[in-house]
Each structure stands twice: as C-alpha cells, then as structure tokens.
Amino acid sequence: MAAQRTARRTHNFTESVIREMTRVAREYDAINLAQGFPDFPAPELLKEAACDAIRADRNQYAITWGSPRLRTALVTKYREWYGMEVEGDQEITVTCGATEAMAAIMLAVIDPGDEVIILQPFYENYGPDAILCGASPVFMPLVPPEYRLDTDRLASLVTNRTRAIVVNTPNNPTGRVLDRSELEAIAALCIEHDLLAITDEIYEHIYYEGEHIPIATLDGMRDRTITVSGLSKTFGITGWRIGTIIAPPDLTGAIRKVHDFLTVGAPAPLQDACAAGLESLGPEYYSGMVEEYRARREVLYSALVDAGFRCEKPQGAYYILADFSGLSDEPDDVFSRQMARDPGVLPVPGSSFFSPPELGRSLVRFAFCKRMETLEKAAERLRDFSDRRG
Ligand code: GLN
C-alpha cells in the first residue's frame, strides 16, 4: 500500500462545515444564513481610516504582536468597558482573526496528551485546534433549551491531564450569555485544579439580555485566563482578520512566538483602521449595533417559529440554533442541502457543533447578521415553504 501522503494529525478532523456551506449557498444561489458574516456595510469611519492608512503607505509589517496604536486602543477598551488593567507591551497579541488567536494559544500552552474541556455545543474550531496540539478535546454538554452550565458535571470531567477549559460567551451557536454564577463556577474549578481558562469573547458587544463578564475579571482569574476577541463582529469586518489576545506576560511570550512563526502579523493598515474605530466610535455605535441585531433577531425568530422550527431567542451573538424534527426526518446535512434548493435559505448543519456529531442531527443554525431586506426575503421564503408543505 502506498505510504500515507498526509500527516496523521490531519486525519482526525474534517474541513470546516460552516465555510463549506458558504460554497453550497453559492452553488444553489441560496440566501446564505450559514456562515456568520454581515452583508451590510462597515462603519464609514473604519473604511476611511483603512484607505487613509494605505494611502499613507502603511504597507509593511506591523510589529509582530500588534501595532502600538492598536494595542494602546485595546488597553483603553479593556479599562473602560471592564475595569480591567492590561499591560499593552506585555499582555496583548494582535492576530489574524480570533481563529488564528485560538490556534496560536493552544499551540503555545497545550502539550500532547493534555486534555482540553470544551463546552458543547461548541464553535467548530476548538476541537481541531486541540487535536493539532496532540491533545484530547473533552466535551461537556450544555442541555437545551436553557443551555445552563451543570457545575457538578463539569467538575466530574477534570482529570490530572486537564490543562484548560474553553469558554465562549456570548456563545456561538446557542446564543447563551453565561451569567456570573456560571462563570464563578468555572473560575473555582480552574483555581482548584490549576487550569487555564481560554475564553472566546468575540461576541462581547452583541447581547440582548444579561451582561458580558470577562472571566479574567473574576477574583483569582487574571493570571490564569487567556482572553480572545477581535474586531470582526464588533465592526462587521470578518474579512479583515483582526483578532486580539490578552494573556499574562509569561503566556504572552509563548503565544507571540507561535503567532510570529504562523503569520508574522495581522494586516498593518487594517490594524490602524481598527484602532481608529476603537478610538472614535462611542457608546451610541455599540448600542445602535445591538438594537439593529435585536430587530434582526425578531424577524428571523418569528419566521423560523412560523415555519415549524423549534427554537429559543438567543441572549447574545447572532445565531439561532433550531430543531427541525417537526419538519423533516432527514439528518441535518441532508436537510440543510434540501433547504439550499428549496426554499433557498441555507443554515449550517447542527452536527458540526457537537461531538459525537449525532447529537446535532435534528438541529440547524441560522445566522441573522444580515440586512433587514435579506432577512425579510429569507422569512418570506421560509413561510412560503411551510405553506406549501401544508
Ligand atoms: N464565526 C462565524 C460562524 O460561526 C464565521 C466563522 C468563520 O468562517 N471564520 O459562522
């Protein structure tokens, strides 16, 4: 038999289903409510700042771990929003999106043989990131419809090989915003067992209920938390690839080395533009953004319920995870492709947020980070679809 031409580390995970679905949407000319990216314009101020930076010939590498201006803006952001003091020279790394951030972090702090606890349903990158490190992802289920954290169950998963817990709030795909008591329970476990919290807070400014609490701000957690965020969701610029990491200096040293050899750095002119956005967009930008998302959430939610899906309104982020078992007995991937053809509205198959994937077979995820007219058109197609099915 011919020798394997690919490395074993690539054999235990699949390509991203979310990104595959964007290709399927194009194939069927369906409305893409699969991959979570906005179809509306970015703030004018950001676009102008990016053009200005390019015209000013900011064309060369920024400092590997992020331009000083962007890191200064991030220091101000963490202080003003969360009362969190961050040392810009030693604790911040700017990456090519939160996706690179997560991968660089895991490669920097996780050893082969370690276990990484991941709350499930999960955003699909975390498992492959752990596997790339030679570690084992251990999945901790959150149970619908509330998706609340069962602290005892979480504690029962900790072994002497556990190195970190991955937290994602506001959550993709459930929309859960973890409350203080849940975060305190995770913090207590991290402290008791000397674990790291790796927290993906990319939706930190998009929530409709509760409050966003960075787990790093809880007592005893600052030194054992690695906080991931970025500007993709906050400014609606997912293609710019600007992610951010806040971590204690010793961890930052390791993360920066990995980041440097992976990508050298994030796009220099776009870092400038993101700094301008952080410096100049005031509270009305953030509250306006949330109100727009709240209105979009209503349109998609009622269309899904009217069409026969079972779902809850998310507390945060911009996705609805919906049960379609009242509509079809097909598995989620078959059902999603059928939806691409008719009614021409494409979600992400739910199985991509679960391990084993069977747990998500009757679920699909719809994104509502779209113009109102896109969502209304999708709503019309969904209602018409359910009428035709009688
Ligand atoms: N976070 C978005 C989603 O869940 C987009 C992910 C991506 O493709 N990088 O759809």
| 268-280 and 68-82 helices, crossing angle to 10° | 30
Residues linked to residue 268 through DSSP beta bridges, in sequence order:
none
- Splitting the chain (390 residues) into consecutive groups of 10 residues, what average pLDDT does each group show? 82 90 94 96 98 98 98 98 98 98 98 98 96 97 95 98 98 98 98 98 97 98 98 98 98 98 98 98 97 98 96 98 96 96 96 96 98 98 86
Residues linked to residue 198 through DSSP beta bridges, in sequence order:
166, 226
Tell how far the Cα of 18 is from the centroid of ligand 1, in angstroms: 7
Index of the ligand 1 atom closest to the CA of residue 233: 1
d(CA 9, CA 132): 6
Strand pairing class (136-141; 115-120): parallel
Across 263-302, where does the E strand assignment appear? Answer: none
Q: What is the pLDDT of residue 333?
A: 95
Cis-peptide into 43, omega within 30 deg: no
Which residue from 353, 290, 291, 384 is spatially nearest to 34, judged by alpha carbons?
353
Q: What is the pLDDT of residue 384?
A: 92
Q: Which residues line ligand 1 (CB under 6 A)?
A: 18-19, 35-36, 99, 172
Residue of 37, 96, 368 to test ligand 1 pocket, by largest number of atoms within 8 Å of CB: 37
Q: What is the pLDDT of residue 386?
A: 84
Q: What is the pLDDT of residue 95?
A: 98
Index of the ligand 1 atom closest to the CA of residue 16: 8
Q: What is the pLDDT of residue 2?
A: 58
Burial annotation 181-193 (CB, 10 A radius, 16+ → b, else e): ebbbbbbbbbeee
Q: Write the residue with the smallest CA distance to atom 9 of ligand 1.
A: 99
**CATH number of 8-42+284-389, picked from 3.40.50.970, 3.90.1150.10, 3.90.25.10, 3.60.20.40:** 3.90.1150.10
Residues linked to residue 92 through DSSP beta bridges, in sequence order:
246
CB 116 within 8 A of CB 130: yes
H-helix segments, 213-346: 249-263, 268-280, 283-306, 332-341
How many C-beta atoms surround the C-beta of residue 372 within 10 A?
14
For residue 32, give both structure tokens.
Answer: 């893409």
CATH class of 56-280: alpha beta
Q: What residue spans define the domains of the chain? A: 8-42+284-389, 56-280
